Structure 1
């Protein structure tokens, strides 16, 4: 098929149902004939859970219209029936395929289903509202797999591994700690990012989880089958097409009522199969990219890639995301392998959703591919600039933890010399690949590769001590029982259970995500990191089952201080807009670097950054194995500590009145300065700087001294031919030094350091600095 073939722009492809009639439309521009096959039931399943015979239906010819559309209007109520399209090609080929625009399907997606969608709305669905949100700047993302959330056999979930598990409230562990959806609300995350929840191929939905004969089948779901239908294995009854729809919506409602939005992980870059799927049969040669010899290209790494740059493929994606956002109230989308989707398509998706659905929806994805692709307009880092969507920041990820699966170290795991790379991430990558911090997703680990705890153990040489063995495709590579290997391992051997937050491995894990949660940009944590979740060293657990992947809720009781620390950091972030600035200009104006060397990154968010109620905030990350001592700017009221090595939040833990702070090894600290409070005794120095030429633009003071540290002081105005600046210092300050310089050391007025004696000064003193003179005059 020519990629410039006829297109259709209507929004009514698929089956449009009503009680009096159903209208079927299929885009199949090169088909010789299309017939609708209607069925009374889902068909006969074989032992593998597949229906292979589809010739037993009532077959009705469809009419060919303009723009490649095949059309049929069927009078009567078809709810409860199933259908497929019989597509005949010019070469005599005959294929029975499900509808590419299926809204409901039978178990395992074997046939499309016709249902009355309204009948499968839960009670109160029409009143469901997205939790209020200004935009992406408020987001704290939590990446989660539906089954992992509730498959723990000891947690007390009724609906283990199902959508409905999200509706179960009031669940507690034996110490009374909230688990399940109540845990998510307590943690404070704003969005749950669910791994694929559309219908995927590799789990047999007819398998009985409770049969006891074997472990339930498991997959992450990156093997798309029906992209507009919820996955049946997450439903309590996949054989009734409406149940999965009802229970998906119940999950959405439950999250919304807890103040949590839902991000859907979508995979529009490839399909599980080309020949077995509906796209190739409906439009041969159109939906998939091929090379010059006509062979399928493999930028996805799994055998095919969708040609998203072609109008009808792009339309399919636009129609699909709109459908999920409108029909299911989904609050945003994460695009798998976004590098395989042309930037024009992502831009149109973003613009359409923000304009026509809700401007607060979040769109982001992976700015890379899984292999070589002929696509020219790949959506890579930098292509998102100014386009309203975000991309994963693997630069920041690598700087924090090192490589993804090996022993390579990062800032938080023991590598020196990465302070500048960390600082770049802290700034929201605004000097790297973004125009705004809202264009970067900051994270340390997600479902791919080693999770955070296992990565820390590996970098610290503790993998063998933990008893981890090599796992691949859900099995031990050297044979034996995976269950026994898990039971015999001890992932937390390195943890001092009497002082959890004092253990080095805990410190490193918490520091890594502590940096993410206090940086500019959109933070994401992987489910269970707040509970020190392990996957027993499995770096690719996509089919390793519950034994490896389940969230073990007993860890909340075991590691409650870790959970409390994460919750405190999220509270701090949510309550203080200084941590989620929205523009490069804000970052450049309000983020001042205090130290970026010696395994330490420290900075100040100053002058009520982004409208914060705190005047100044100091954030310090110490990745050394020893404590550090850091000079901090003088504060009239003193600095209050909101975060230290043991506790986190937005309330004062202690008050510091010194001009230096001790930061314990492998920890972070957040200090803040408020307006109000009891002022400390101070002195004020007023500077007047006089130049014969009267040109003051770019000139400033570099000052230092007791209680100050080194800092820049800008002249605020010109009065009577002199530039004027003021500073306040502690009352005990005896001397301050200064240099008058141009911009950032382009020139100095006088080369030598100059000093002002304040030993006998109380209150305010005014000094005159005359250009070219090494003397300073006190004039009052």
Structure 2
């Protein structure tokens, strides 16, 4: 193919637009003035499904959309409806956030013109060329997952007008906190323009997380009123502080949902090309959200790669985390780590050195792919999360699994280098504080009768479900969090901490707070547990100064020894003892040791370098003198 769609091109003469829609009978470019009056300009088909138009006199700041006519048969994948204004898939900015309205989903001939309801694309002047630099993040560091809005809405040191925006992340107070934690890179939950799911409005809720995208280029104006320039400025400020930026991308589905969903962009242009369908024409739903993107179709691959390059070349981001990552490698016969899109990412000159992180599971066939993304990819390791939680909960026969996770999960990543992203909590699930305060989910605020969210969280409540004024319960919970944090910071490979877990953030037991744009989800800076925070800062400083902790090479018997509390090598019988709760990991070359006491009594560990008294349910670290 010699022609392809792309972002609108501006010149002194005007603007050129190119849009893909092979089955359409006609496309129009729709221009809107300040009073929202519309001018429709017919586009011209130029072969291979591409439509083009040159618009003289159209420049930066112009607002526009698309309309498409053609066959209408949703059951066969045809959704053409000239009453539906569509967002250009390559639009790099929009004039306002998307708001769901039932008219956006009305069948052809039964609805009204949707232009007044739709966000319009905005033409942007190119930013100055950005010098290319290597990523600030390297595997083995600390990734800090955060929601742009919730992380700063209650941050008292950030100017009020900036709170809840990408610009707030560049505030000196925020950067100081990140540096105290020795954060290697922040991982921003989705910042692309998104739309609410249709069931949320009647419940009085909105989509807070943003995992329901309409655009893969445009940043949601609620998070970046200044658009791409805001992101670039913040990335620059974080880079100057030595902190990388990773953004969470959602390519597995879009916000047009199932057959009853709205027509916003891809669906109205080429639903059969952009989405995966069953042989009988029904939408495939490997995501649980209504549709599945055909990521390995040639034009979709091009769109995805172009959007990734856009954020690297225009904003300087260091890498990407991919929601429901198996979608990127899914072919008709299943997941393939050498699928065309994944191979393109590895070979692309702009993307090849970027950080690539997979959430290696979805609900589609063969959807669990932990350990299979291969060279160049890091992967969220839910086995780490669950095994560490189960050990500290007190489950029997968990010591061996704990040791494997501490050493880099060689049973999963067999290449000699661990590609594990070790984490205990993420945006999806309990916070770290709730993990030790709730044995069950409490999602009533979501309006789904507490049926949503994970049912098994390997959590525990220390005797009381939820908040407690009992000092003993509070102390037990704080000790548990400290032990969990110490385990995380002493683990081999990359580690990830979710914002606020370092100082005891709670979501009141809600483990699926995707629709809670309120105090349930926002990070409470004034009520934070400063004792826990100091503990996390100390762990971060120790990890940062200890090469034993932040390498990525798998730990082998020649590197470390596993000792019991008497300083003897662990025996087979001890490894297999279902009730054993004590172990020490000692690095042979330096004597650096991590002593883990998961029992309810204090324990004296006799190490070659000396004795160490470890309180009950605690981790103690014996670094060597350097």
Give the TM-score normalised by the residue count of structure 1: 0.66
3-state SS, counterpart of residue 143 of structure 1? strand
List per-residue Cα deviations over 1:441-497 (Å, max 9, x = no partner): 1001101122111110124xxx8xxxx96533179979xxxxxxxxxx983635579
Residues 93 and 477 of structure 1: is their aligned pair in 2 closer, same or farther, counting only changes over 3 Å? closer
Aligned residue number for residue 517 of structure 2: 545
3-state SS, counterpart of residue 30 of structure 2? strand
Aligned residue number for residue 241 of structure 2: 258
Q: 1:351 aligns with which of 346, 353, 369?
A: 346
Aligned residue number for residue 445 of structure 2: 472
Question: Shift in Å at residue 126 of structure 1?
Answer: 4.6
Alpha-carbon RMSD: 3.1
List per-residue Cα deviations over 1:512-569 (Å, max 9, x = no partner): 121121111110011101111111111111112222111111234xx32211221121
CA contact (8 A) 1:199 1:226 kept: yes
Residues 304 and 494 of structure 1: is their aligned pair in 2 closer, same or farther, counting only changes over 3 Å? farther
CA contact (8 A) 1:199 1:230 kept: yes
Aligned residue number for residue 441 of structure 1: 421
List per-residue Cα deviations over 1:386-407 (Å, max 9, x = no partner): x210211111111111xxxxxx
Aligned residue number for residue 389 of structure 1: 377
3-state SS, counterpart of residue 97 of structure 1? coil
Provide the aligned length of Structure 1 versus Structure 2.
557
Question: Aligned pair 1:592/2:554, yes or no?
Answer: no
Q: Which runs of 5+ in 1 are unaligned?
A: 1-6, 44-55, 171-179, 208-213, 237-242, 402-409, 479-488, 608-614, 634-638, 640-657, 676-780
Residues 246 and 473 of structure 1: is their aligned pair in 2 closer, same or farther, counting only changes over 3 Å? same
CA distance in 1: counterparts of 2:227 and 2:208, whole angstroms: 18
CA contact (8 A) 1:128 1:256 kept: no
Q: Which runs of 5+ in 2 are unaligned?
A: 73-79, 99-117, 330-336, 452-464, 565-569
Residues 42 and 112 of structure 1: is their aligned pair in 2 closer, same or farther, counting only changes over 3 Å? farther
Question: Aligned pair 1:372/2:364, yes or no?
Answer: yes
Question: Shift in Å at residue 418 of structure 1?
Answer: 0.5
CA contact (8 A) 1:8 1:69 kept: no
CA distance in 1: counterparts of 2:8 and 2:18, whole angstroms: 7
Residues 434 and 24 of structure 1: is their aligned pair in 2 closer, same or farther, counting only changes over 3 Å? farther
Question: Shift in Å at residue 341 of structure 1?
Answer: 2.3
CA contact (8 A) 1:616 1:674 kept: no
CA contact (8 A) 1:428 1:436 kept: no
Aligned residue number for residue 592 of structure 2: 617
Question: Shift in Å at residue 372 of structure 1?
Answer: 3.4
Deviates more, 1:338-347 or 1:90-99: 90-99
Mapping for residues 313-712 of structure 1, pairs under 5 Å: 313-342=300-329, 343=337, 344-345=339-340, 347-348=342-343, 350-352=345-347, 355-357=349-351, 359=353, 361-369=354-362, 371-373=363-365, 380-385=369-374, 387-401=375-389, 410-459=390-439, 471-473=444-446, 491=467, 493-494=469-470, 503-556=475-528, 559-584=529-554, 587=556, 589-595=558-564, 597=575, 598-607=580-589, 615-633=590-608, 639=609, 658=610, 660-674=611-625
Give the TM-score normalised by the residue count of structure 2: 0.81
CA contact (8 A) 1:520 1:580 kept: yes
Aligned residue number for residue 146 of structure 1: 148
Mapping for residues 43-442 of structure 1, pairs under 5 Å: 43=36, 56-90=37-71, 93-94=81-82, 95-109=84-98, 110-118=118-126, 126=130, 132-133=136-137, 135-137=138-140, 139-152=141-154, 157-158=159-160, 159-170=162-173, 180-202=174-196, 219-236=208-225, 243-273=226-256, 275-342=262-329, 343=337, 344-345=339-340, 347-348=342-343, 350-352=345-347, 355-357=349-351, 359=353, 361-369=354-362, 371-373=363-365, 380-385=369-374, 387-401=375-389, 410-442=390-422
Larger Rg: 1
CA distance in 2: counterparts of 1:24 and 1:62, whole angstroms: 9
Larger strand share, 1 or 2: 1
List per-residue Cα deviations over 1:210-257 (Å, max 9, x = no partner): xxxx99955110111111111111235xxxxxx233322232223223
